[in-house]
C-alpha cells in the first residue's frame, strides 16, 4: 500500500497517463458510482441518477483520453525507432558528398543517410550574421527607446484604480 501511494505521488509529476494514476482514477470513480447508488436507494431522488450519468460520462471520457494518449505515445516511439535505424555497413561516417566514377565512366553522387535527411540536423544557417539581431548602427539608442515607448503607450490602458472609482460612483448613486 505504501509503494502504491509513493508511485501515485510520483505519477502526478510524470507527463502522460501512468498505470498507477489510471488505477487510482478508476477506483475513485467506482467508489463515487457506488456512493451515488447508495444515495439513490436511500433517498429515491432523481438527482442521483443524473449525477451518476454525469459521473459515468466523465469516467468514460477520461479512460478514452488515456487510451488515445497511450496510442499517440506508441506512435511517437515507433516513429523515433524508424528514424534511428542503424546505417548500412557500406556507408561512410562522413556527412560530405563524394563523387565516384561509375562503370560507364560517368560521375555519380552518393550521400550518407544523415545528410539525406535535413529535418534531423539542428544546425544554424552557415551565413547568419549577428548584425541582423542588432539595431542598425545609424540609429542611436535614444531612437530605439523612443520607438519602443511609442508602441507601448499608443493605446489606452485602464487600471484597477479606475474601475474602483467607477464602482464607488455607482455605490454613491444608489
Number of H helices, E strands in the chain: 6, 2
Give the pLDDT confidence score for residue 168 in this predicted structure. 74
Query: What is the distance, to the nearest Å, from the Cα of residue 39 to the centroid of all Cα atoms in its chain?
Result: 40
> Of 71, 59, 72, nearest to 24 (Cα)?
59
Radius of gyration of the chain measured on its C-alpha atoms: 32
Where does residue 18 rank: exposed (0-12), middle (13-18), buried (19+ CB within 10 A)? middle
Residue 163 lies in a domain: no
pLDDT over 90 at 50, yes or no: yes
Question: For residues 73 and 65, is the Cβ–Cβ distance under 8 A?
Answer: no
Give the three-state DSSP class for 138: coil
Q: Can you tell me which residue has the cell 539542428?
A: 122
Residue 72 lies in a domain: yes
| Entry pTM | 0.46
Give the pLDDT confidence score for residue 148 in this predicted structure. 59
Domain that holds residue 36: 2-83
Give the pLDDT confidence score for residue 118 in this predicted structure. 47
Residue 128 lies in a domain: no
pLDDT over 70 at 120, yes or no: no
Task: Give the pLDDT confidence of 56-113 residue by residue, as tens digits.
Answer: 999 999 999 999 999 999 999 999 988 887 655 555 555 555 555 555 544 444 444 4
Residue 129 lies in a domain: no
Residue 159 lies in a domain: no
Residue 110 lies in a domain: no
Residue 12 lies in a domain: yes
Give the pLDDT confidence score for residue 35 in this predicted structure. 97
Residue 105 lies in a domain: no
> Of 141, 102, 16, 5, nearest to 66 (Cα)?
16
Task: Give the pLDDT confidence of 125-172 residue by residue, as tens digits.
Answer: 444 445 545 444 555 667 766 665 555 555 556 676 777 777 776 666
| Count of domains forming the chain | 1
Amino acid at each position: 500500500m505504501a509503494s502504491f501511494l509513493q508511485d501515485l505521488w510520483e505519477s502526478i509529476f510524470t507527463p502522460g497517463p501512468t498505470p498507477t494514476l489510471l488505477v487510482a482514477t478508476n477506483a475513485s470513480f467506482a467508489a463515487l458510482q457506488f456512493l451515488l447508488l447508495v444515495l439513490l436507494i436511500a433517498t429515491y431522488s432523481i438527482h442521483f441518477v443524473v449525477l451518476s450519468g454525469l459521473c459515468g460520462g466523465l469516467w468514460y471520457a477520461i479512460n478514452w483520453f488515456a487510451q488515445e494518449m497511450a496510442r499517440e505515445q506508441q506512435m511517437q516511439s515507433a516513429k523515433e525507432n524508424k528514424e534511428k535505424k542503424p546505417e548500412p555497413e557500406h556507408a561512410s561516417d562522413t556527412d560530405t558528398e563524394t563523387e565516384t566514377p561509375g562503370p560507364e565512366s560517368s560521375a555519380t553522387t552518393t550521400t550518407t543517410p544523415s545528410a539525406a535527411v535535413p529535418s534531423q540536423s539542428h544546425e544554424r544557417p552557415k551565413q547568419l550574421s549577428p548584425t541582423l539581431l542588432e539595431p542598425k548602427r545609424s540609429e542611436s539608442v535614444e531612437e530605439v527607446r523612443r520607438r519602443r515607448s511609442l508602441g507601448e503607450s499608443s493605446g489606452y490602458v485602464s487600471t484597477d484604480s479606475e474601475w474602483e472609482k467607477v464602482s464607488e460612483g455607482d455605490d454613491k448613486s444608489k
